[in-house]
Structure 1
Amino acid sequence: MNAALLYEKEDLRLGTLPEPQIGEGEVLIRTGGASICGTDIRMWKNGHAFATPDQPLVIGHEMAGTIARVGAGVRGLQAGQRVCVAPNYNPVSSELTVAGEGYLDPDYRALGIHEHGAFAEYVRIPREAVLQGNLFPIPNHVSFAAAAMVEPLSCVYNNYEKARTGPGDVVLIVGAGPIGVMHAKLSKMVGAGKVIVNDRHEDRLALVRSIDPSFITICGDPGEELKRLTGGRGADVIITACSSADIQARAVELAAVNGRVLFFGGLPKGKSHVPLDTNLIHYKQLLVTGTTRQSLRQFQKTLALIADGLLVVDDLVTATYPLGEIQKAFAGAVSRTGGLKTAISFN
């Protein structure tokens, strides 16, 4: 089968691998659609411990496809079924898995991170992931490209549950990439009074406005315009959908009294110690927290939002490349010439 293999830093090659063999309890997926995530780009830029010249890794963890085969003992799934895949699973049980938060367990595993993932014609789903319930049937009217985006959108949904965004809230999202637009869409769906998207790049903000003209956009530092829009109050919810220490520090300054500040974008290793004005947190009674990944419950909920037409994600895909042009796809995603979300198609 054809596959995109990461060997080391900035060394992603299209190659061939044997079609995966599955054992008892496992499932083989024929990939129908996948998309490039910021994590994939960071792995390509910086290298990754599980991708080496001796053992290259098929990266990619946002995926959907059709079940090609099921192993002995698999129940409730059958060949020909259309599914999307939650990539994170737990080899062993723990307190966190029992609580439904196995994705936070330090020993979790993920397709495309620890073992071969989405950017291949076939993906083997391990027995533990099958038993955990990581395969979700998708209705025929949901495209594979849309189903692949359940994974990032469910991460955004996790953030929403922490933020408790409600009717009338002013929401400031810093970062106008695909994740930022997902935050904006979800905030609007739950009734936010003003959805404000901030970025340094006007071309990105123009894309945001083309997707939904009701989104308010601010280029550059948002401080003065945010004051004008809120009568000096600040934002009830601030989401840092970007990897910036300066933005994390600025967020507590821009938040309203009783505001919620959520760090969605992580920072590079060695750069995560950020000075925050704790008096602002104290005297404004701010909630400052972060989120990562998603639970299977959140994954299932997000799939339902897409399937029921409550959240449209197809308009986030601004570039699509076949697997054979994976290097071109990454070049576009890295340089931002690809627009928002870059999808990978499969014949």
Structure 2
Amino acid sequence: MQAALLYDKNDIRIAEVPTPGIGDGEVLLRTGSASVCGTDIRMLKSGHAFATPEKPLIIGHEMAGVIAAVGAGVTSCHVGQRVCVAPNYNPTSSKLVVAGEGHLDPGYRALGIHEHGAFAEFVRIPREAVMQGNVFPIADHVSFAVAALAEPLACVYNAYEKARTGPGDVVLIIGTGPIGLIHAKISRMAGAGKVILNDVNAERLALARTLDPGYLTIAGDPGAELHRLTGGAGADVVITACPVAAMQTRALELAAVNGRVVFFGGLPKGKSLVPLDTNIIHYKQLTVTGTTRQSLRHFQKALDLVTDRVLRLDDLITSTHPVRDTVKAIDAAAQASGLKARIAFDL
């Protein structure tokens, strides 16, 4: 099969590799669509501990396709079934796993991060992931391209629960890439009175307005325009959907009294020590939190929102590539060209 293997920093190679075999309790997925994530960009540009010249890694963790084979003892899915797969699983149990938050367990594993992922024609789904319930059936009307986006949607849903966005809230989203726009869609679903998108990229702000003319967009520093739009009150919810330290500092200043601030976008290694004025948190009574990854509950909720047509995600996909052009797809995403790029396979 063809696969995109990460060997080292800035070293992805397309190669013919053996189709993975599966053991008892495992599942073989034939990939239909695998979308590019910011994590893939970071792994390519910065390197990754689990991708080495001695042991290269097939990356890609947003995936959907068809079950090609099942191992002995598998009863939860069958050959020919259309599915998407949550990438995070737990090899062993723990208090966090029992609490339904295994994605936060230090010993978690993820397809495309620790194990071979979806930028390949076939993916082996480990026994622990199958038993945990990571393989989700998808309805006939949901495309593979959209089903693969259940993963980033689930991550955003996790943040939505922490932000507690409700009817009438003013939501400021800093960063208008695919993740920022999913935050915008969720905020609109929750009844936000104003959904304000902020970015330095004029092209992405223009794309955002084509998705929903009701989005308010601000280029550059949002302070003055946010002040005008809110009568000086600020935003009830501020979400940093960008890896920029200065915007985490700024987020506190932009939040309203009793506001909620969510640090969604992680920061590059070595740049995560950020000055925060704790008096702003204190005197505004702000709630400041962060979220990462998603639980299986979040994943199921995200898939339900797509299946029930509550949220539309297909309009986020702006480019489709064969696996041989994986580097091109990741580079396009890194350069903020368009929105969501995906790797597609013929089924």
TM beyond 0.5: yes
Secondary structure of 2:80's counterpart equals: coil
- Distance of 1:53 and 1:331 partners within structure 2: 21
**Match in the other structure for 1:118:** 118
Quote the offset at 1:334 in angstroms. 1.9
Aligned residues: 346
**1:336 Cα deviation (Å)?**
2.3
1:343 and 2:334 aligned? no
* CA distance in 1: counterparts of 2:282 and 2:12, whole angstroms: 47
Question: In structure 1, what is the Cα distance between the partners aligned to 2:76 and 2:5?
Answer: 32
TM-aligned CA deviation for residue 84 of structure 1: 0.3
Deviation, 1:323, is: 1.2
Structure 1 unaligned residues grouped into runs of 5+: none
1:328, distance to aligned residue in structure 2 (A): 1.9
1:314 shift after superposition: 0.2
SS at match of 2:311: coil
Give the whole-Å Cα distance in 1 for the aligned partners of 2:287 and 2:26: 42
Q: Deviation string for 1:48-106 (max 9, x for gaps)? A: 01111111100000000000001001112100000000000000000000000000000
Q: Shift in Å at residue 331 of structure 1?
A: 2.3
Q: Report what 2:287 is aligned to.
A: 287
Measured in 2, the distance between the counterparts of 1:283 and 1:312 equals 39
CA distance in 2 between counterparts of 1:194 and 1:181 reads 14
Q: C-alpha distance in 1, partners of 2:180/2:254?
A: 17
Q: Structure 1 runs of 4+ off > 3 angstroms? A: none
Show the counterpart of 2:250: 250
| RMSD over aligned Cα atoms | 0.6
- Residues 1:64 and 2:64 aligned together: yes
- What is the TM-score normalised by the length of structure 1? 0.99
The alpha-carbon deviation at position 270 of structure 1 amounts to 1.4
Provide TM-score, normalisation by structure 2. Answer: 0.99
Shift of residue 266, structure 1, vs aligned partner = 0.6
Any idea what SS the aligned residue of 2:312 has? Answer: coil
Q: Distance in 2 between matches of 1:333 and 1:167?
A: 33
Q: Distance in 1 between matches of 2:273 and 2:157?
A: 26
- Superposition deviation, residue 330 in structure 1: 2.0
Helix, strand or coil at the partner of 1:128: helix
Question: How far is the alpha carbon of 1:329 from its aligned partner?
Answer: 1.4
Deviation per CA, 1:82-137, whole angstroms, max 9, x where unpaired? 00000000000000000000000001000000010010000000000000000000
- SS at structure 2 position matched to 1:252: helix
1:17 shift after superposition:
1.1
Partner of 2:305: 305
| CA–CA separation in structure 1 for the residues paired with 2:197 and 2:170 | 11
| 1-structure distance, mates of 2:171, 2:232 | 14
Whole-Å separation in 2 of the counterparts to 1:325 and 1:247: 33
What residue is the counterpart of 1:92 in the other structure? 92
| Letter matched to residue 24 of structure 1 | D
Q: Which residue of 2 aligns with 1:24?
A: 24
Q: What does the per-residue CA deviation read over 1:140-185, in whole Å, with 9 as the maximum and x for residues that have no partner?
A: 1000000000000100000000000000000000000000000000
In the TM superposition, what whole-angstrom CA distance separates every residue of 1:219-264 from its partner, at most 9, and x where no partner exists? Answer: 0000010011001000000000000110000000010000000000
